[in-house]
C-alpha cells in the first residue's frame, strides 16, 4: 500500500526527531525504577505467560488456529513485531500495517496482551542497497553482505534516520491499541558486528575528540610512548582491532565507543516512545553481554529500561539466575523473560524442564514468561530450534506444559507474585572490567595475568549467595547507589575508575561492609596499571598493599577460625597489611601468607580475599561477612533446592533430577500441588511447591 504520510512528512519528522533527541540527551532521564509504577503498567498480582509469535510466517487461517491454541492454553501475552522491518516497510516510505492491525485485533479479542517490538534490527535489504554505509566493513576493509540478522552498521546516520522513521510510524499507529501492553527495542542489539569503514573511523575520531579534547590527553590515555606509537594528530588514529593484536587501552576505548553507539540508538527509540506512548513501559530483549560487541548496560539502563528483560536459555540454575539478575540491576520492577527456554538449537525439549525454570524465575522476581517460540520455523537459521507447535502445525506436549505454567501462575498471582525483592547484598559487575581484563591478543600480557573470564569470576562469587537463598542485586557500583545494601561484594573488578572508587570509599566510611577479592583494582580507567599502591585508589580503605602474586602448584587452602577451607584456586596475592588485621592465612603458601584481611575504615569494614573468587574460596568468607554485616540468610535447603519467603509463604524449587526432602515445621498443605506434608516437604525431580 502507499505511504500514509504526506509529502514532506519524513523531513519534518526527522527534524523533530533530532531536536527531541538532543534535548533528551541533555537531561537525566527519569525511569520507572525511580518512581511508583504507573497503573497502566503490569503491576502487583499480575503474572503473564505466553510466547514469542511471528505472524509473518502464517496465513490468516493459521493465525486463527494459533490464537485458538494460545487461548485454550491460557496464554495472556505474546511478543510480536521483532525481526520484521521489511514486513512493515517493504520499500522506503511505503508502510504496510493492515496485516499487523488484524493480528493485534484478534489478540485483543482473545484477551491476549502484546509486547510491540520495534524491529530496528535487522535492517531490510532495501536499506542496505540504498545506503551502503549500513553495510558492515570488516577489519581487512572488505564489505560484508547482510548475511546474518546482526549485520547492520547501526552507527551509520542513514540507518539512524530510517530506524527513527520506522519507530515514529509504529508508535503513533499503535499508541492507543488496547492489546499493546509494552514496547521493546531492537531485538538482541548487543550482538551486532563492529564496522571498519572510513566513515566509522571518522566517527570514532569524533568520539575521541569529545572524550579527550586534545591529542596530548589521548596520547597519555593510550600510553603511545610505548613501542613508538605516538599520535601527532587525531587524523593518525586508526580503529583498534577487535580481533587481533593491539594495546589494551585502545581496545577498551573501542568497546566504549560501540557501547555508546548502541546506547544512543536505544535512547533515541525511547525518546520516540515517550512522545507517542508515554503511558507504556519498555520491555526489551537487549543481550548486553553478547560476545561480539556487547554494551555497558549496567551503567546506562535506567535511561531506556522500565523492566529488566532478557532471553532466558540457562545452562544451569546458577548461570541462569546470574544472567537474569544482571538484567534487573537495582530496578524495583520485576524481571521479564522475553524469550524463555522451551528447548534449544537441535534440542526438542525435556518435559518438566521449562516449568522448573519458570518457577526458578518466579523465585527471583519474574513477572513474564514468553516461550521461544510459538511456531517451529519452516526456514532460516533457527528452523531446528523447536517451538511449542511442530513444523506441521500440531501442538506439542510443550503447549500443555506452558499451559500448566499459565494456570498455576494465575492461581499463584494472589499470593504476592510477582515477588518484590529487597536485596541486602550487591555484587559489583563492570563492563569495563570485562573488556580490559581480556583485551585482544595474542601478544597482550594481560591475558596471561588475568587467567579466566571476568564474567565467570563474578558468577562464581554469586554462586554461594544464591545457594544460601540470599537475594542479591548485580550492579555497577559507580552508577547505582550502594546505600540500600548491608554488604557489597567486589569480585575481580580489574578496572577501578574514580566513580567506583569514590562510591566504595564513601559506602565504607558511612558504615557499609565490603568484600573485595584478588584481581581487583589493578588498572585505572584507561586500562593502565596503577602507579600507586594496590588495590588502586582503595589501598587505605582496605588497609593493605599488594604487589607480589604467585600461583601455587597445589590448590590453595586457608584457615578461618578453627576450620580449614579448600579454596580450589591457585592464584594468590601477597597481602601486606598496614592498618588491616589478618583474619585468615593460607595453609600451603610460603610463610603462610594472609588469605583474608579485615580493616576498619570510618564507620565501616573492608575485607579482602587474596585469591580469585571461586565458590569454594568465597563461601566461608561470605558466611563470616553475613554475620558482620547483619545479612539475613534464606531458608535452609538441600543442594540444588532454592527457596524464598513471599508474603509469609515459602516457595521451594527443586532444580535437580532427584527427589529432595526439606525439613519443615508442622503440617502444611502445598498451594501448588494441594498435597499434605507433615514435618518434611518431599519434592520430586524438577518440582516446585509453595507452603503457607
Checking if the pLDDT of 399 tops 90, the result is yes
User: Is residue 442 in a domain?
Assistant: yes
Helix and strand numbers, DSSP H then E, in the chain:
18, 27
Question: Which triple of cell numbers denotes residue 163?
Answer: 530506524
Do 451 and 392 belong to one domain? no
CA–CA distance, 345 with 143 (Å, rounded to integer):
29
Do 392 and 434 belong to one domain? no
Helical (H) or strand (E) element with 427: strand 425-428
Total domains present in the chain? 3
pLDDT 10s digits, 246-259: 999 999 999 999 99
Average pLDDT value for residue range 41-64: 96
CA–CA distance, 120 with 417 (Å, rounded to integer):
33
Helical (H) or strand (E) element with 16: helix 9-25
Average pLDDT value for residue range 268-290: 97
pLDDT 10s digits, 71-108: 999 999 999 999 999 999 999 999 999 999 999 999 99
User: Is residue 540 in a domain?
Assistant: yes
User: Could you say which DSSP state residue 587 is in?
Assistant: S
Q: What is the CATH number of the domain that holds 677?
A: 2.60.40.1180
Angle at 179 between CA 176 and CA 180, to 5 degrees: 65
408-414 contact pairs (CB < 8 A, 24+):
408/672, 409/47, 409/49, 409/358, 409/362, 409/369, 410/47, 410/74, 411/671, 412/47, 412/362, 412/671, 412/672, 412/690, 413/45, 413/46, 413/47, 414/45
When the pLDDT of each residue in the chain is averaged and rounded to a whole number, the result is 94
pLDDT at residue 441 in the model: 82
Do 332 and 438 belong to one domain? no
In 508-637, which ranges are E strands?
513-517, 544-545, 549-551, 557-560, 563-566, 571-573, 576-577, 581-586, 594-601, 604-609
pTM: 0.93
Q: Is the bond preceding 122 in cis, omega lying within 30 degrees of 0?
A: yes
Checking if the pLDDT of 3 tops 70, the result is no
Average pLDDT value for residue range 600-625: 98
Do 481 and 509 belong to one domain? yes
CA–CA distance, 536 with 498 (Å, rounded to integer):
10
Do 480 and 619 belong to one domain? yes
CA–CA distance, 664 with 662 (Å, rounded to integer):
6
pLDDT 10s digits, 494-539: 999 999 999 999 999 999 999 999 999 999 999 999 999 999 999 9
Q: For the stretch 530-541, what's the b/e string if a residue is b when 16 or more beta carbons lie within 10 angstroms of its beta carbon? A: eeebbbbbbbbb
Nearest to 343, CA basis, from 316, 317, 371, 321: 371
Checking if the pLDDT of 10 tops 90, the result is no
- Name the percent of the chain lying above pLDDT 90: 92
User: Is residue 314 in a domain?
Assistant: yes
pLDDT at residue 27 in the model: 33
pLDDT at residue 34 in the model: 38
Do 482 and 448 belong to one domain? yes
pLDDT 10s digits, 178-196: 999 999 999 999 999 999 9
- Name the percent of the chain lying above pLDDT 70: 95
Cell 588497609 belongs to 543
Do 404 and 438 belong to one domain? no
Q: Which domain holds residue 67?
A: 48-117+154-191+280-413
User: Is residue 615 in a domain?
Assistant: yes
Checking if the pLDDT of 25 tops 80, the result is no
**Residues with Cβ within 8 Å of residue 502, at least 6 apart in sequence:** 478
User: Is residue 39 in a domain?
Assistant: no
CA distances to 190, 383, 386, 399, 456 from 345, rounded to whole Å, are: 20, 9, 7, 18, 23
Do 405 and 299 belong to one domain? yes
Checking if the pLDDT of 32 tops 60, the result is no
pLDDT at residue 151 in the model: 97
CA distances to 54, 58, 287 from 377, rounded to whole Å, are: 9, 10, 22
Using the 3D structure, point to which of 579, 606, 629 is the last residue of a domain: 629
Q: What is the CATH number of the domain that holds 353?
A: 3.20.20.80
Confidence band for 383, pLDDT divided at 50, 70 and 90:
very high
289 touches 326 (CB < 8 A): yes
Give me the DSSP letters along 151-178. ---TT-HHHHHHHHHHHHHHHHHTTT-T
Do 391 and 315 belong to one domain? yes
pLDDT at residue 8 in the model: 37
Checking if the pLDDT of 157 tops 80, the result is yes
User: Is residue 229 in a domain?
Assistant: no
**Residues with Cβ within 8 Å of residue 480, at least 6 apart in sequence:** 298, 329, 330, 426
Checking if the pLDDT of 371 tops 80, the result is yes
pLDDT at residue 561 in the model: 81
pLDDT at residue 36 in the model: 65
Do 183 and 310 belong to one domain? yes
Using the 3D structure, point to which of 413, 442, 469 is the last residue of a domain: 413
pLDDT 10s digits, 137-154: 999 999 999 999 999 999
Neighbour-count burial of 3, counting CB atoms closer than 10 A to its CB (0-12 exposed, 13-18 middle, 19+ buried): middle
Confidence band for 14, pLDDT divided at 50, 70 and 90:
very low
Q: What is the CATH number of the domain that holds 603?
A: 3.40.50.880
User: Is residue 34 in a domain?
Assistant: no
Do 524 and 398 belong to one domain? no
Q: How big is the chain by its Cα radius of gyration, in Å?
A: 26
Would you tell me how many other CB atoms lie within 10 Å of the CB of residue 98?
8
Confidence band for 564, pLDDT divided at 50, 70 and 90:
confident
Do 540 and 594 belong to one domain? yes
Residue, of 485 and 12, whose pLDDT is higher: 485
User: Is residue 213 in a domain?
Assistant: no
Q: What interhelical angle do 353-364 and 317-328 show, nearest 10?
A: 40
In sign, the C-alpha dihedral spanning 27, 32, 35, 41 is positive
Using the 3D structure, point to which of 579, 601, 629 is the last residue of a domain: 629
Q: Is the bond preceding 442 in cis, omega lying within 30 degrees of 0?
A: yes
**Residues with Cβ within 8 Å of residue 259, at least 6 apart in sequence:** 294, 295, 296, 431
Cell 531506556 belongs to 304
CA–CA distance, 573 with 671 (Å, rounded to integer):
50
Amino acid at each position: 500500500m502507499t505511504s500514509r504520510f504526506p509529502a514532506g512528512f519524513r523531513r519534518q519528522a526527522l527534524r523533530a526527531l533530532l531536536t527531541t533527541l538532543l534535548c533528551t540527551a541533555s537531561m537525566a532521564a527519569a525511569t520507572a525504577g525511580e518512581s511508583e509504577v504507573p497503573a497502566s503498567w503490569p503491576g502487583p498480582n499480575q503474572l503473564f505467560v505466553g510466547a514469542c509469535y511471528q505472524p509473518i510466517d502464517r496465513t490468516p487461517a493459521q493465525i486463527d488456529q494459533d490464537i485458538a491454541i494460545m487461548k485454550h492454553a491460557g496464554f495472556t501475552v505474546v511478543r510480536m513485531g521483532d525481526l520484521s522491518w521489511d514486513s512493515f516497510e517493504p520499500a522506503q516510505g511505503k508502510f504496510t500495517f493492515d496485516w499487523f492491525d488484524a493480528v493485534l485485533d484478534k489478540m485483543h479479542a482473545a484477551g491476549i496482551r502484546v509486547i510491540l517490538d520495534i524491529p530496528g534490527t535487522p535492517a531490510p535489504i532495501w536499506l542496505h542497497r540504498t545506503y551502503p554505509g549500513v553495510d558492515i566493513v570488516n577489519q581487512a576493509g572488505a564489505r560484508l553482505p547482510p548475511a546474518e540478522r546482526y549485520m547492520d552498521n547501526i552507527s551509520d546516520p542513514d540507518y539512524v534516520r530510517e530506524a527513527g522513521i520506522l519507530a515514529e510510524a509504529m508508535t503513533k499507529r499503535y499508541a492507543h491499541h488496547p492489546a499493546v501492553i509494552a514496547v521493546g527495542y531492537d531485538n538482541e542489539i548487543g550482538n551486532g558486528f563492529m564496522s571498519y569503514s572510513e566513515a566509522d573511523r571518522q566517527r570514532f575520531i569524533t568520539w575521541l575528540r569529545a572524550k579527550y579534547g586534545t591529542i596530548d590527553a589521548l596520547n597519555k590515555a593510550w600510553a603511545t610512548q610505548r613501542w613508538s606509537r605516538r599520535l601527532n594528530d587525531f587524523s593518525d588514529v586508526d580503529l583498534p582491532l577487535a580481533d587481533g593484536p593491539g594495546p589494551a587501552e585502545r581496545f577498551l576505548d573501542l568497546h566504549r565507543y560501540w557501547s555508546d553507539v548502541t546506547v544512543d540508538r536505544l535512547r533515541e527509540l525511547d525518546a520516540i516512545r515517550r512522545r507517542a506512548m508515554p503511558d507504556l513501559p519498555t520491555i526489551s530483549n537487549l543481550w548486553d553481554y553478547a560476545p561480539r560487541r556487547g554494551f555497558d548496560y549496567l551503567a546506562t539502563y535506567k535511561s531506556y529500561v522500565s523492566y529488566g528483560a532478557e532471553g532466558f536459555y540457562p545452562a544451569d540454575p546458577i548461570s541462569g539466575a546470574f544472567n537474569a539478575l544482571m538484567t534487573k540491576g537495582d530496578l524495583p520492577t520485576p524481571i521479564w523473560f522475553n524469550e524463555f527456554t522451551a528447548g534449544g538449537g537441535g534440542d526438542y525439549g525435556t518435559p518438566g524442564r521449562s516449568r522448573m525454570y519458570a518457577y526458578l524465575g518466579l523465585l527471583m522476581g519474574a513477572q513474564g514468561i514468553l516461550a521461544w517460540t510459538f511456531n517451529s520455523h519452516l526456514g532460516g537459521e533457527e528452523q531446528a530450534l523447536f517451538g511449542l507447535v511442530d513444523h506441521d502445525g500440531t501442538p506439542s506436549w510443550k503447549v500443555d506444559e506452558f499451559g500448566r505454567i499459565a494456570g498455576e501462575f494465575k492461581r499463584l498471582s494472589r499470593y504476592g507474585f510477582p515477588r518484590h525483592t529487597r536485596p541486602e547484598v550487591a555484587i559489583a559487575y563492570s563492563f569495563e572490567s570485562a573488556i580490559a581484563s581480556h583485551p585482544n591478543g595474542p601478544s597482550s600480557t594481560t591475558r596471561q595475568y588475568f587467567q579466566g573470564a571476568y564474567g565467570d569470576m563474578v558468577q562464581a562469587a554469586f554462586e554461594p549467595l544464591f545457594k544460601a537463598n540470599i537475594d542479591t542485586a548485580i550492579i555497577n557500583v559507580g552508577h547505582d547507589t550502594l546505600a540500600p545494601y548491608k554488604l557489597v561484594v567486589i569480585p575481580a573488578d580489574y578496572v577501578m575508575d574514580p566513580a567506583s572508587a569514590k562510591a566504595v570509599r564513601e559506602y565504607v566510611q558511612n558504615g557499609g561492609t565490603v568484600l573485595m577479592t584478588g584481581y581487583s583494582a589493578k588498572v585505572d580507567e584507561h586500562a593502565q596499571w596503577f602507579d600507586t599502591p594496590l588495590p588502586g585508589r582503595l589501598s587505605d580503605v582496605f588497609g593493605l598493599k599488594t604487589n607480589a602474586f604467585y600461583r601455587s602448584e597445589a590448590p590453595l587452602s586457608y584457615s578461618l577460625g578453627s576450620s580449614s577451607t579448600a579454596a580450589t584456586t591457585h592464584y594468590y596475592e601477597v597481602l601486606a597489611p598496614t592498618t588491616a588485621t589478618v583474619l585468615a592465612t593460607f595453609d600451603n603458601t610460603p610463610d603462610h601468607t594472609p588469605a583474608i584481611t579485615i580493616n576498619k575504615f570510618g564507620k565501616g569494614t573492608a575485607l579482602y580475599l587474596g585469591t580469585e573468587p571461586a565458590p569454594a574460596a568465597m563461601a566461608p568468607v561470605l558466611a563470616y561477612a553475613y554475620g558482620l554485616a547483619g545479612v539475613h540468610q534464606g531458608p535452609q535447603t538441600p543442594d540444588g533446592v532454592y527457596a524464598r519467603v513471599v508474603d509469609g509463604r515459602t516457595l521451594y524449587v527443586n532444580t535437580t533430577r532427584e527427589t529432595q526432602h526439606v525439613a519443615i515445621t508442622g503440617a502444611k498443605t502445598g498451594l501448588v500441588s494441594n498435597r499434605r506434608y507433615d514435618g518434611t516437604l518431599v519434592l520430586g525431580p524438577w518440582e516446585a511447591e509453595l507452603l503457607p
